[in-house]
Amino acid sequence: MATEVKVPTLGESVTEATVGELLKKVGDAVAVDEPIISLETDKVAVEAPSPVAGTIKEFKVDVGDTVEVNAVIAVIEEGDAPAKSSGDSDDAPKADKPDADVEKAAPAQAKEATDGDSSQTLSPAVRRAVLEHGVDPSTIKGTGKDGRLTKEDVIAAAEAKKSGGSKPAESTSAPAAAAGERREERVKMTRMRQTIAKRLKGAQDNAALLTTFNDVDMSAVMEARGKYKDMFAKKHDIRLGFMGFFAKAACLALKDVPAVNAYIEGDEIVYHDYVDISVAVSAPNGLVVPVIRDAQDKGFAQIEKDIADFGKRAKDGTLTMDDMKGGTFTISNGGVFGSLMSTPIINPPQSAVLGLHRIEDRPVVVNGEIVIRPMMYIALSYDHRLIDGREAVTALKIIKEAIEDPTRMLIDL
């Protein structure tokens, strides 16, 4: 009996996706709920699972195709799949586990390939194969559409590595350009990157953007972290970071200046009595903004756990649409990449975003004397259609004062 595999529900207001990778081949055996196709949506990569156990009879789509929700993408022949022969190349790499040293090195290799300046993006299945086989994806030439790396490319490279590099040249990186040769490469934008571009440009076109700046003395927060970080980690099993402090400080500011936590919808202003903070996180395919819900009711430990979980799942490609739905205010930390100052762009339909930057020792005047303090520039970009300059400056000043005197966050000042 043949069973159709359809595009699953992708999330609120998301009606279509792009086929990122075929995770199986025609004739492969699949188990119930085993992923067979990787789909790229506007925000996340999702995998379409097989609804039954059986053998893949046919794929109705190819890599790069655009598919709508509930469209048929594959056909599975139900029943026991024929046993594979002992010489089947698919079994060999799965049977041999990489040695400990390679296994430890693989995550760093996968991170280097996705975090660097390369145009290469890795689907969840490819990332798993990279980690499993301990190969460096940056040294492999992709054979997929637009030069994308496939799981088969990774397996072939692993086999070549085991056999002492006797694999033909097509599974290795392309030869370096001759001296003085000028080269260029065209790579199709992923659906996520297209959406990021559209949303950011839309924010500039539709909102009256303005940015106000301040600087923060981080001495008190750094002293608190240094004093309590070991006890905090022991009790809560999570590292005490800076984002927890800024999230709680933002909650204070948004409570006192509710317009910064609101947004425009048609000819109405929507105010919120809760704070859902979108946290900008780097993922292999671009920037994503999962949401810490009801941040005003959460403690430092839970906020830090939420952020750590989002960061891990962003790199693994396992964030869901629900993780990024909503949000009333955004915090973006460019300081982790070394940024000294920036003008962040709001995340529509939100009306404001807080930008954090790197901490550096600078001379400042305190009580009439020049002293060296760890300082950070902070920026608040806002939609001037809704938020007046006085409100924006006041909100940023509240955040500054709460960070410079964290006791304010404990006694709600």
What is the C-alpha separation between 268 and 258, in angstroms, rounded?
15
Amino acid at 384: H
Cβ neighbours around 25 below 10 Å, total: 12
Tokens found for residue 144: 């997929």
Of 127, 123, 133, 128, residue with least CA distance to 156: 133
Query: Does residue 16 sit in helix, strand or coil?
Result: strand
Helix (H) or strand (E) holding 263: strand 263-265
What is the C-alpha separation between 315 and 308, in angstroms, rounded?
11
What are 58's strand-pairing partners?
Answer: 75
What is the C-alpha separation between 100 and 232, in angstroms, rounded?
31
Tokens found for residue 108: 């760093």
Q: Concatenate the DSSP letters of all residues of 328-371 into one string.
A: SEEEEEGGGGT-S---PPP-TT-SEEEEE--EEEEEEEETTEEE
What are 330's strand-pairing partners?
Answer: 278, 353
Task: Decide if 133 is catalytic.
Answer: no
Enumerate residues 6+ apart whose C-beta is below 8 A from 263. Answer: 269, 270, 328, 349, 350, 351, 383, 386
How many residues comprise the chain? 413
Query: Does residue 268 sit in helix, strand or coil?
Result: strand
CB 200 within 8 A of CB 345: yes
What are 371's strand-pairing partners?
Answer: 364
Tokens found for residue 196: 């990021």
Task: Decide if 272 is catalytic.
Answer: no
What is the C-alpha separation between 277 and 261, in angstroms, rounded?
10
Q: Which listed residue (90, 136, 146, 384) is catalytic?
A: 384
Q: Which listed residue (383, 388, 405, 412) is catalytic?
A: 388
Tokens found for residue 90: 């698919």
- Catalytic residues, by residue number, are 384, 388
